Structure 1
Amino acid sequence: MLRRADKGAERLERALDGGPAPHDSDTRRALAAAGALAPGHTRNPARIEQTHDAMMAAFQRTLNPLETRDDAGTGDGLDDTDLHRQEIDLPGGGQLVLSDLEELTPERIEQALEMAAEILEQSSKDHQS
């Protein structure tokens, strides 16, 4: 019995070292159990360090927030932005409101009206089917 166990252990060792696949069921079951106990993935040390560094940087930002300037946001041109807006009555009683950062030219208004008409036409076709 002891000799039989030694042979099974030898077959299992050979299979674990990359040798031929065992044919007997005991060794195959032991090999499957060994595979189930092996971890499915290993942790990458570089990824662990990157995660740690990112967490520490976020922690430091929370502890030491940046000082706010009194003149923050001035002179950047964002507060001087004009919004161009135009309301257009559509045939059939609807209303289209166009708004843009750029000036609304008659060509752009006409293009927007054509796009709205196409959308309404497609919508009416969908409701009819």
Structure 2
Amino acid sequence: MALLLATGCASEPQAVTDQQQREQVGRNMTALGQGLRAGAWSKVERFFSPAYHEGYGELRDRLEAQFRDERITDLQFTVNRVLESDGLINAQVHWRKTWVDKTGKPAKAEGLSEFILKPQGRAYRILRISGDRLF
């Protein structure tokens, strides 16, 4: 139901049974994590659709500010569920993040987020993230 509300899809979401597609979503999330750990917008911009719902420029500004204020030391994603509806992918993702702020103090956070993804070739572009805020 969350997928229908978030995307306005008319058809009922279906669990993704294609193991290759589930694995590709997992690889995409791992690559996003590597880009975030690198601490540069240029390393993560390819994962976001220009149609990102909160505003592409706002997202870039928020991430660049975060990169200035903290250094991510570990970021792990676990893809719990993958649904498909009307050509979009809804991935429920549990994440764990460890970072050091600019004063050198370590911190941790974890959460559960829903990523709405649009397949583009072998990659997926993020259209929306809801749930616990990763950034």
TM superposition score normalised by structure 1: 0.22
* Bigger Rg, structure 1 or 2: 1
TM superposition score normalised by structure 2: 0.21
Which is strand-richer, 1 or 2? 2
Q: Higher relative contact order by CA 8 Å / sep ≥ 6: 1 or 2? A: 2
Which is helix-richer, 1 or 2? 1
